[in-house]
């Protein structure tokens, strides 16, 4: 037969093979030329494979030489090349690749259940009394957790639940331990659970990607922290846990408070408490002082009223000095003292009346003595600086006919009658003469008036120095009546 006829028989024989076929083998001689060309081999045979670009884009990964895969497709004979090839339309990795696909599928299922939602997750306890650690007793992860707990806060108790963390039975033991701790957490005093193990391959960590473990974590009534493998490893148990930690040490640090930081917090709380107590105490003292101040204010007001009356009496006594008037003032002052004492007793009825009465009597007596001293001093001052005493020293006071004091030449006109009071009598005069400006210091100071005395020598019209001082101090107006008549 011809070569073509033989090729036809070969192609026809290949048509009897099942479609599609699935072949497991190892990638070899991979050539990426838009389409993938490679050999699939095992220990006993080699099959040429082709994966066209449209199928290669759907593979989800780029195969590597030496990688174990499962190829699906159809077997064809290329007559012109004389070559039998497996035309691949699917390519799946074996081992880690298969686990990766299973991981992605389970992630999708759990996400649909809402187990990854942050709203579902619980807050960790601030100061746990006891933490349950679900791990292998012989693993290095447990020692990391225990060392961190002793260093940070020895007061937190650690309860270890020994389970397998690798192999076919590991997932069941981990899930059962979490469920048992959840049921017994009140009796055991468990406030949080730490699920952990050290690093490893994806196959080693696979127990923590099983759905029963994720379901047990979600259903657990106490918060769960998961730290599985190294920082770059991610498991489903960590994704559904209330908090994920990169390493066992970091997980212990998240759960166990630092005693140094706790000491600082206690000191801060104590300081805030002291400040609050001091503020409340100060407020209470201010309220008490306000009440006392109101009481003292009432007493002071009563004293002020009586002192005002004493001052008024002193003024009137200064103007009217007869002994009888002074006696009446003293009687009124005694009456005021009595009324003040009565008012104070009525105000202070809720307090120590004896002590307050003694203080009030002492203060009133002191105020009365002070007022009497003032009256005596004013009397002496009046006797020393009164107008008659001033006149006795050689001064005089000039008034117009209507009794008003002449303080300036401008106060009189030519022909006005004026009276000049001296110590032992009165001089009557008539203003006679021209008033002209006085020149001095470069500026006029007012007119000068000539007067003609009746029956006496002519007296100059200047205002005595004492009169000018009286004008400045305001005393002459109050004491004008002393010179009447």
Q: Which helix (H) or strand (E) is 87 found in, with range?
A: strand 83-93
Going from N- to C-terminal start, the domains of the chain cover: 3-93, 100-257, 271-385, 390-483
What is the per-residue pLDDT for 444?
Answer: 40
End-to-end CA distance of the chain: 180
Q: What is the pLDDT of residues 92-140, one digit of tens each?
A: 887 656 677 778 888 889 999 999 999 999 999 988 999 999 999 998 8
Kindly provide the b/e burial profile for residues 449-469, where b requires at least 16 CB atoms within 10 angstroms of the residue's own CB: bbbeeeeeeebebebbebbee
The pLDDT of residue 479? 47
pTM: 0.42
Q: How far apart are CA 43 and CA 63, in angstroms?
A: 19
Close Cβ partners of 417 (under 8 Å, ≥ 6 residues apart) = 400, 401, 428, 429, 430
Model pLDDT, residue 160 = 95
pLDDT at 302: 80
Looking at the structure, give the CATH architecture of the domain made up of residues 3-93: Beta Barrel (2.40)
Q: Pick out the chain residues at pLDDT < 70.
A: 95-98, 316-326, 344-345, 347-353, 433-485
Three-state secondary-structure class, residue 227: strand
Question: Given this model, what pLDDT does residue 19 score?
Answer: 81
Torsion of Cα atoms, 214 then 216 then 218 then 221, to 10°: -160
pLDDT at 483: 46
> Domain 100-257, what fold?
Rossmann fold (3.40.50)
């Amino acid at each position: 037969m011809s070569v073509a006829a033989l090729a036809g028989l070969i192609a026809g024989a290949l048509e009897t093979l099942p479609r599609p076929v699935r072949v497991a083998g190892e990638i070899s001689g991979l050539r990426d030329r838009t389409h993938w060309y490679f050999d699939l081999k095992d220990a006993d045979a080699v099959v040429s494979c082709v994966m066209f670009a449209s199928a290669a884009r759907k593979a989800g990964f780029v195969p590597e030489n030496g990688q174990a895969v499962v190829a699906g497709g159809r077997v064809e004979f290329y007559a012109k090349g004389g070559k039998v090839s497996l035309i691949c339309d699917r390519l799946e990795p074996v081992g880690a690749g298969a686990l990766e696909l299973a991981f992605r599928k389970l992630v999708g299922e759990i996400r649909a259940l809402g187990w990854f939602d942050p709203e579902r997750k619980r807050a960790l306890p601030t100061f746990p009394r006891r933490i349950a650690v679900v791990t292998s007793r012989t693993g290095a992860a447990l020692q990391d957790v225990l060392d961190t707990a002793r260093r940070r806060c020895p007061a937190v108790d650690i309860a270890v639940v020994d389970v397998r963390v690798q192999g076919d039975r590991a997932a069941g033991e981990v899930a059962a331990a979490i469920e048992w701790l959840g049921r017994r957490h009140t009796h055991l005093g468990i406030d949080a659970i730490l699920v952990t193990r050290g690093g490893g391959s994806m196959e080693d960590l696979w127990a923590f990607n099983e759905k029963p473990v994720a379901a047990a974590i979600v259903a657990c009534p106490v918060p769960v922290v998961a730290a599985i493998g190294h920082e770059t490893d991610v498991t489903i148990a960590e994704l559904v846990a209330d908090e994920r930690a990169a390493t066992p040490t970091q997980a212990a640090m998240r759960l166990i408070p630092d005693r140094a930081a706790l000491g600082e917090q206690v000191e801060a709380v104590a300081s805030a408490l002291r400040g609050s107590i001091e503020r409340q105490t100060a407020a209470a003292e201010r309220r008490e002082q306000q009440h006392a101040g109101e009481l003292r204010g009432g007493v002071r007001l009563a004293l002020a009223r009586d002192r005002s009356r004493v001052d008024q009496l002193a003024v009137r006594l200064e103007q009217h000095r007869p002994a009888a008037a002074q006696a009446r003032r003293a009687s009124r002052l005694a009456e005021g003292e009595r009324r003040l004492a009565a008012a104070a007793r009525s105000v202070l009825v809720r307090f120590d009346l004896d002590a307050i009465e003694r203080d009030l009597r002492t203060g009133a007596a002191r105020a009365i003595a002070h007022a009497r001293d003032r009256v005596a001093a004013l009397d002496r001052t009046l006797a020393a600086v009164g107008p008659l005493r001033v006149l006795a020293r050689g001064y005089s006071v000039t008034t117009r006919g209507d009794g008003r004091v002449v303080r300036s030449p401008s106060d009189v006109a030519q022909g006005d009658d004026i009276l000049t009071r001296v110590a032992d009598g009165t001089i009557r005069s008539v203003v006679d003469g021209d008033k002209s400006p006085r020149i001095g210091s470069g500026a006029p100071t007012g007119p000068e008036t000539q007067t003609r005395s009746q029956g006496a020598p002519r007296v100059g019209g200047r205002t005595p120095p004492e009169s000018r001082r009286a004008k400045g101090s305001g005393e002459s107006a109050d004491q004008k009546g002393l010179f009447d008549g």
